[in-house]
């Protein structure tokens, strides 16, 4: 009889077996690290582009200054009644003479007033930089605007201080709108006794026999009294 030859189970590649025929633990091959390509470098501005950018930024910053100056001028025209030389009211002045809408005119004035108030506070490192930030503080009471602005700076942290953040901070300091006053419920009126009136109508109907027109009028009067008293016929 031929001797049987014990064969080891098939293995994959260089996998080795223990004396008991159990494959040794083979750690997985480390995966290759993903290669992250650096962000593309932004092309630098040409000298002509840089010059144009500086020119446009000067216009933008000048417009911000002009915006405040216009608001201050409007406030002076209003406060000193300088519009009365041609118009009966300040509203007619900015609407007819300047072609401004009400909201635009008062945003100009309000923003200039808020900027003047906040600029006078020396310990403020971060001052408003645009009209949209100032506009959110117009409806805040004057004595609370500085605190509202400081709150907005804290909310922004390291993020850009947007008008939305100023709006969120200002909500805590704006006066709450008063709700509709509750109307007191009137006391329910005492029920009216119409029986004596109905009795008189019935007596009149008895005397008016044959007078169809008068009987119809008395009948209609009876129905009206019953409806008025909230009763059915």
- Dump pLDDT digits (tens) for 80-90: 999 988 889 99
- Within 10 angstroms of residue 64's Cβ, the number of other Cβ atoms is 14
Q: What is the reported pLDDT for 73?
A: 93
DSSP 8-state symbol, 159: S
**Predicted confidence (pLDDT) per residue in 154-165, tens digit:** 998 888 889 999
- Residue listed under structure tokens 């633990």: 25
Residues with Cβ < 8 Å from 168, sequence gap 6 or more?
152, 155
For residue 8, give the nearest of 16, 97, 171 by alpha carbon: 16
Residue spans of the domains in the chain: they are 55-170, 195-228
Mean residue pLDDT of the chain comes to 78
pLDDT digits (tens, 9 = 90+) for 213-228: 777 777 767 777 777 7
Straight-line distance from the first to the last Cα atom of the chain, in angstroms, rounded to the nearest whole number: 125
Task: Transcribe 46-96 into DSSP letters.
Answer: PHHHHHHHHHHHHHHHHHHHHHHHHHHHHHHHHHTTGGGGT-SSHHHIIII
The residues that bridge with 104 in the sheet, in sequence order, are: none
Q: Is the pLDDT of residue 32 over 80?
A: no
Give residue 233's pLDDT: 44
Percent of the chain scored above 90 by pLDDT? Answer: 25
């Amino acid at each position: 009889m031929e001797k049987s030859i014990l064969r080891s189970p098939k293995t994959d590649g260089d996998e080795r077996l223990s004396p008991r025929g159990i494959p040794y633990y083979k750690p997985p091959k480390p995966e290759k690290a993903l290669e992250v390509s650096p962000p593309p470098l932004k092309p630098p501005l040409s000298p002509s582009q840089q010059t144009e950018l500086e020119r446009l930024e000067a216009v933008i910053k000048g417009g911000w200054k002009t915006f405040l100056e216009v608001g201050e001028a409007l406030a002076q025209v209003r406060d000193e009644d300088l519009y009365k030389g041609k118009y009966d009211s300040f509203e007619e002045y900015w609407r007819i003479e300047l072609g401004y809408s009400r909201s635009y005119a008062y945003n100009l004035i309000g923003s200039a007033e808020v900027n003047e108030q906040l600029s006078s506070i020396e310990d403020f490192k971060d001052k408003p930089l645009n009209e949209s930030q100032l506009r959110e503080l117009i409806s805040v009471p004057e004595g609370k605007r500085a605190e509202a602005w400081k709150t907005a700076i804290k909310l922004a942290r390291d993020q850009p201080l947007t008008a939305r953040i100023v709006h969120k901070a200002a909500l805590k300091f704006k006066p709450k709108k008063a709700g509709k006053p509750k109307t007191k419920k009137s006391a329910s009126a005492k029920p009216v006794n119409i029986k004596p009136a109905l009795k008189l109508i019935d007596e009149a109907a008895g005397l008016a026999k044959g007078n169809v027109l008068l009987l119809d009028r008395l009948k209609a009067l009876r129905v009206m009294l019953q409806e008025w008293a909230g009763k059915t016929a």
